[in-house]
Structure 1
Amino acid sequence: MAFTIRQLQFFVAAAEKASVSGAARALSISQSSVTEAIQSLEDDLGVMLFERKARGLELTHKGSLFLRHATQILGDVSNARMAFRDEAGQMAGKLSLGVTSLVAGYVLSDILSRFRRAWPQVELSAIEDNGDYLQHLLIGGELDVAVMLTSSIRDRAAMHVEQLLVSPYRLWLPLGHPLTDAEAISLDQLAGEQLILLTVDEIEESTRKLMAALSVKPDIAFRTRSVEAVRSLVATGAGVAVLPSLVYRPWSLEGDRIEIRDVSGDLPSVQVGLCWRKGAPLSDLARAFIRTAQGAVPER
C-alpha cells in the first residue's frame, strides 16, 4: 500500500517532537493514530524509521534520510496549493535576499527550493554575511528580505521581524559518554569537559556567556566555523558541544552516532526569522517569499 500525505505529516511531527505523545498534541489527534501511521510507513518502506526508547522516539539513520524526502513532499504539496490559490505561477521579476551563515545551511535551502519550484520565473539572488551588514543592506534598500538570527538584531525600530522558529541549546555527546545515562544534566556537570566551540554568528558569544556562569570552566579543545567539524569531533570523542537543536543531526559524515540531551539551567536559544525594512512597501514577490518561508519551517 502506498503511503499517504497524512502519514507523512504524522511522521514529520513525530520526528520533530521526538515522541508519539508530542506529535499527537501538536496535531490534535490521538496517539494511536500517530503510532498506526508510523507502523504503516515502516511496513511500506521495509525499514525502521525510529528507535523506540524510554525517553521517546529517536530517528534511525534510514529515518533521518526519509525525513528529508517527507519534508520535501509536504512542501511540494503546500506550494502547489499556494500557486493555484494566488495564481503565483505567473509572477516574474527579481528578488534580493540576505542570509546569515548558520541559517544558510539549515533553514534557507528548503525555503529556496520550495520557492523556486512554485515560481520558477523569478530571478533570485542571495548574499551571505553577518547580521549587522545585512541590516545595513536592508535599510539601504539593497535587499528585499533577510533570513537571519533575529535575536541579534540591533535596530528593531527600523525592522519588521517575523519569527520562524526558536531553537533551544542542547548538549551534544559521543555515544557511550557517561552523561548519556544521567536522568538529568546540570550546567555544573559540564565543568572540566573538553568543549568543541562553534564560532559562527552569535553562537560563540552565547556559548562563552553560558560557560562563564560555571565555577569550573570547560576546556575549549577546538574552535571551528564548521558545524560538520563539530559533529565529527563530538562523535569521535574529542569533546562535547552545546549548540542549538536547529543544527543537530544524529550522524556525522563518517556515520558515527551523536547523542543529544537537555541541560537544566538558564540556557539561551536561537531565534530565526525574516526581516525587512519598516516603511518600505513589500513587492508581491517578497510577500510570496515570506509566505513560503512561513510554510517551510515546521517548528513555526
Structure 2
Amino acid sequence: MSLSLKNIRYFIAVAEAESITGATQSLNISQSVITEAIKSLEAELGATLFQRHARGMVLTHAGHQFLRHAHQILAAVRNAQQALSARPDTMVGRLNVGVTPMMTGYFLPYLLDRYRRVFPKVEIQLIEDRRDYLEHLLVNGELDVALLVVSNIENRQALEAETLMEVPWRVWLPANHPLRELGSLALTEIADEALIMLKIDELEESTHAWWRAAGLKPRTTLRTESVEAVRSLVATGAGLAILPDLLYRPWSLDGDRLEVRNILEEMPRLAIGVAWRRGSRSSEATQNFLIVAREHSRTHGRS
C-alpha cells in the first residue's frame, strides 16, 4: 500500500466540506481529480470512506477512523518539515540526563560530544548514580532520560526503555595465562581460577546468576568498583574477570597486556540503552538526544 499525501489532503477537504463540490472550492481543483483521489484511497484501504447521497458525502465508520489517522499523518509531516528547516545550532533548551557509572566512562563521552556538536546551545545537566535511584528520578520527572543497563530496569510499568546495543561477556586473562591457548573457555574451566568482580552497574549480580544456573561457585578474591583496578590486576596475574566487552582494553595503565576469550556457554548479552518516563511528553531536546544516541550506537556499538 502506498498512500498519497495529496489524496489524504483531498480526503480531509471532502470530509470537512461534506461534499466534493465544497472541497473543489477550498482546494481550487477540478471535481474529477478529487473523485479519483477518493476512489484511489478507498481501493488502497479496502474500505468505503463515504456514504454518497443527493446532498453530499457523509463519512462512514471507517471514514471516521481514517480521518483521525489522516490528521495525525499530516501533523507528523508538518513536524518533520519544521524540524528539518530549523537550524540545530540555534536550538535552545535544557536536558537532564542520568547515567550509571559504567555509562559515564564507556558510552557517554562520545555520545555527549556528538550531541553537543550538533546542538551546542542546549544546556545539559548530568547526574551519575545507581540504576535504582535514576529510576526514581525518572518517575519523579527530575530526569528527561537515562543511560543505563536496560535489562536491569525494575519499574517497567512507569518507565519505557529502548535497547541501543547488546554487548557480549568475555573472559579477561593475563597475556601469559595457560588458558589463553584455548579459543573459548567454559565456566567449568574458569571456576577454580581466582576471580576479580566488578561491582558497578550490577555486573556482579549478573555474573552470580550465571554461576548459580551452572551449579558452580566462583572463587572470588577481590571485589572492586574500579575498572582500571580490574584491568591492572588481571594483567599482572592476580586473577581473571568476566566482563562486558564494552569495557575491554588490551593494556593496563602501567602498560601490562591482557587478553580476552569468548565464553562457550550461551550468556545473556548486556542490554545497554535509554529509559524515560512512560506517557511523558518528551521535549525537543530529549527527542534529539534519542536520535543522536541511536545513531551513535549504530556507528560505534559492538555486537
Give the TM-score of the pair, scaled to structure 1.
Answer: 0.69
For 1:106, give the aligned amino acid. Y
Distance 1:235 1:164 in 2: 30
- The alignment status of 1:121 with 2:121, answered yes or no, reads yes
Q: 1:153: which partner in 2?
A: 153
Alpha carbon RMSD of aligned pairs, Å?
A: 1.8
- Give the whole-Å Cα distance in 2 for the aligned partners of 1:118 and 1:264: 42
Q: Counterparts of 1:136 and 1:190 in 2: how far apart (Å)?
A: 37
Q: Distance in 2 between matches of 1:159 and 1:278?
A: 5
Secondary structure of 2:157's match?
helix
Q: Which amino acid aligns with 2:220?
A: I
Question: Partner of 2:217: helix, strand, or coil?
Answer: coil
Aligned partner of residue 252 in structure 1, secondary structure: coil
Report what 1:206 is aligned to: 206
After superposition, where does 1:161-180 map in structure 2 within 5 Å?
161-180=161-180
Give the deviation of 1:213 after TM superposition.
4.3
**Whole-angstrom CA distance in 2 between matches of 1:148 and 1:240:** 25
- The count of residues paired between Structure 1 and Structure 2 equals 218
State the partner residue of 2:72.
none
What fraction of aligned residue pairs are identical, expressed as a percent? 46
Q: CA deviation at 1:162?
A: 1.5
Task: Supply the AA of the counterpart residue of 1:278.
Answer: R
- Structure 1 residue 143, shift from structure 2 partner: 0.6
Could you say which residue in structure 1 is the equivalent of 2:92? 92
Question: What is the CA distance between 1:191 and its match in structure 2?
Answer: 2.0
Aligned equivalents of 1:281, 1:216: Cα separation in 2? 47
Q: Quote how far apart the aligned CAs of 1:105 are.
A: 0.7
Letter in 2 for 1:99: V
SS of aligned partner of 1:242: strand
Query: What SS class does the counterpart of residue 168 from structure 2 fall into?
Result: strand
Deviations 1:120-173 (A, max 9, x none): 111110101111111111111111111111011112222221111111110001
Q: Is residue 206–residue 268 contact of structure 1 (8 Å, CA) maintained in 2?
A: no
Give 1:281 deviation, angstroms: 0.7
| Deviation digits for residues 213-242 of structure 1 (CA, Å, limit 9, x no counterpart) | 455533211110000100000000100000
Cα pair distance change 1:271/1:89, threshold 3 Å: same
1:84, CA displacement in angstroms?
A: 7.6
- Tell me: CA distance 1:139–1:192, structure 2 relative to 1, closer, same or farther (3 Å): same
Q: Deviations for 1:89-142, whole angstroms, at most 9, x for unmatched residues?
A: 111121111011111110011111111111111111010111111111111111
The within-5 A match list for 1:4-23 is: none
* Partner residue in 1 for 2:284: 284
1:299 paired with 2:301, answer yes
Secondary structure of the residue aligned to 1:173 is: strand
The Cα offsets for residues 60-111 of structure 1, whole Å up to 9 and x where unpaired, read as xxxxxxxxxxxxxxxxxxxxxxx98752111112111101111111001111
Asked if structure 1 preserves the Cα contact closer than 8 Å seen for 2:183 and 2:261, the reply is no
- Name the structure 2 match of 1:271: 271
Structure 1: stretches of 5+ with no match in the other structure: 1-82
Partner of residue 194, structure 1: 194
**Paired amino acid for 2:185:** I
Task: Give, in whole Å, the separation in 2 of the partners of 1:224 and 1:289.
Answer: 32
Amino acid in structure 1 at the alignment position of 2:181: D
Q: 2 CA distance for matches of 1:210 and 1:187?
A: 9
Query: CA separation in 1, counterparts of 2:215 and 2:152?
Result: 27
SS in 2 for 1:279: coil
- Unaligned runs of 5+ residues in structure 2 are 1-82
d(CA) in 1 for partners of 2:263 and 2:240?
Answer: 13
